[in-house]
Amino acid sequence: MMHPGCQIHAVHLHREPVDFRKQINGLAAIVEQDLALNLFAPALYVFINRRRTSIKILYWHRNGFCLWQKRLEQERFAWPQNPSKRGTYRLSLRELEWLLEGFDLWASAPHKTASYQSVA
């Protein structure tokens, strides 16, 4: 997704806004120390600024860290609204794509799964 040939198995949204003056070292410290997650896992670590106008994504690729950023000029990103919960919110890659396109993943639930035994 982020880099050609990069295998991603998990997406972790850091629930609380972070100071966007932080770069790779500061964000890596949050992942390791605050979240107790493996920085070198095939995962994306997603951070948002206080105004919810920018997202940064940190990940490891082969021999170094990559930092990706998107800044909105007029809108705001949707974000989990439960401030009492700390840590991360796990997403799929598809859900991350929707989030980056402006969809609010927490505004509604998906269709329920139907389970049948026969068609007759």
Token pair of 49, please?
């600024």
Q: pLDDT by residue for the chain (120 residues), tens digit each?
A: 566 667 888 999 998 999 999 999 999 999 999 999 999 999 999 999 999 999 999 999 989 999 999 999 999 999 887 655 667 889 999 999 999 998 888 777 667 788 888 887
The answer to whether residues 61 and 3 touch, using CB atoms and an 8 Å cutoff, is yes
**Burial of 39: CB neighbours in 10 Å, binned 0-12, 13-18, 19+:** middle
Q: Which helix (H) or strand (E) holds 57?
A: strand 54-61
- Provide the whole-model pTM: 0.83
In the chain, domain spans: 10-101
